[in-house]
Each structure stands twice: as structure tokens, then as C-alpha cells.
Copies of this chain bind each other. A is one copy, B any other.
Amino acid sequence: MQSRALPSSPRLRVRRHPERGAYDAQTVHAILDEAMIAHVGFIDDQTPVVIPAAYGRDGDNLYLHGSAVALWSKRMAEGAPVCVTVTLFDGLVLARSTFKHSMNYRSVMVFGTAQLVSEREEKLHGLECIVEHLVPGRSREARPPNEKELTGTSVLRLSLSQSSAKVRSGGPLDDEDDFARPVWAGVLPASIGYGTPIPDALVPPIVNVPDYISLYDR
């Protein structure tokens, strides 16, 4: 991806509020790395289907995984076109008029066709990217996949070459005529917050909560 260059595909250009579009790899990568859940869209029997999914990133590739018999991983492995959208909710924007209410957000859309990863080393790498995306450092401690787990799972690679970001930030964009209204206006910031870790009942007492969980912050 070239920095800030407009993408070649018109589908990737942000048309509503073009000033919110961003096409540089740094912006796209940062949003993908911070968010947790992707919404994966595909077509099944002429119907759009959108499912939430975990993912990982390595450079300019996304990795997705699913049961080898799940509908969506089968469709994607067959070469069906896909749209992966990732959205971070950053706040509520309260304007003086109901109409100008908005949300602050950062989103990425990725279009393309995923490749089924068949080579064993890349499959392991893709799964590791997904776990490391959720909990950096975790793959060094947890047991790696065994043969049965590997066989039952499809790992899919989706290039970020057809991706763009859209970012809305800042306060309300009220009409000037509304400025004098005696109503509060502004932003209520939002972000993902994490609570106290809940250990599984069977964790031996000598095993402490690891730093990558007790200090977890994204």
C-alpha cells in the first residue's frame, strides 16, 4: 500500500465524508491490531452473511480460521469474494440537533479472495498470529496445536492489498444556526475496558496470573 495514495479500486475509496478516508498501511494496521473482532461478509446462495470472527495479522496479510466444515470457511476456501470489516467504537458524539448525532470510530474494510493455507508451517504460523493478536506472549506458554486440531481447522490468508480505513474523530459538526441552543454538546469517549482476570477452577494454586494478563492493555 502506498502512503495516502487513493486506491485503484473505486470500491475502496471512502465516498461519504471522503475526508475521513485513510489509505496508508500504518493506519490500517493500527486499527486491525487494536480491535478484537472482525465481521466477515460472504455470499451464500445469493444471500449476504456476516459473522463475527477472531483474526491475526502478519505484515500485509490477515489470517482467519474456522472449523474445516463451517460454511464460511468452506465458501472462502472455494474462492468466494469476501469483505472483512473491523470497527473500533471510540465514543458518542452529541450534537445540538438529533440529526447530527454521530459516533467516533475507526474502521477498516478489506476486500478480496482468501487463500486456504495448506502448508503446515504457515498454518501453524497463522494460528499463532491469531492467538498472539488476542494475547501477545501467550503462544510461548500454551500447548501448540496437535495433528487432530490442525486437521480439523481451516486457516485462511487474506491480503490487505485491497483495504482502506475510515476514521471519525472530534466533536459534533453542528449547523451554525444551532450553536446558540442551550443544550449540552460534546463527546462521550468510549473504549474497551478489561476487568479482573477470573482463573479457571482447576488452575493449580502455584500458577499466578501472568503479566501479559494482569497488565493487559491495548
Instruction: Tell me the A residues contacting B by CB distance below 8 Å.
Output: 11, 15-16, 36-37, 39-44, 46-52, 54, 67, 70-71, 81-85, 87, 89, 91-92, 94-99, 101, 103, 105, 107, 109, 111, 127-128, 131, 134-135, 138-139, 141-146, 149, 153, 171-172, 174, 178-179, 181-204, 206-210, 213, 216
Q: How far is the CA of A179 from the CA of B143 in the complex (A)?
A: 11
Which B residues lie within 8 Å of A131 (CB)? Answer: 98, 101
A37-B103, A98-B143 given; name 20 further pairs at CB < 8 Å.
A11-B47, A16-B70, A39-B87, A41-B41, A48-B48, A50-B83, A54-B103, A91-B195, A94-B213, A98-B145, A101-B134, A101-B138, A174-B200, A183-B207, A184-B210, A186-B200, A188-B195, A188-B198, A192-B192, A192-B193
- Report copies per complex: 2
A-B contact pairs, 8 of them (CB 8 A): A43-B48, A91-B195, A99-B145, A184-B213, A187-B200, A188-B197, A189-B195, A189-B197
- A188 adjacent to B171 (CB under 8 Å): no
Chain B: minimal CB distance from A41 (Å): 4
Chain B: minimal CB distance from A102 (Å): 8
* Interface residue SS majority, chain A: mixed
**Closest Cβ neighbor of A142 among chain B residues:** B98
Which B residues lie within 8 Å of A82 (CB)? Answer: 48
- B213 adjacent to A198 (CB under 8 Å): no
**Closest Cβ neighbor of A179 among chain B residues:** B202
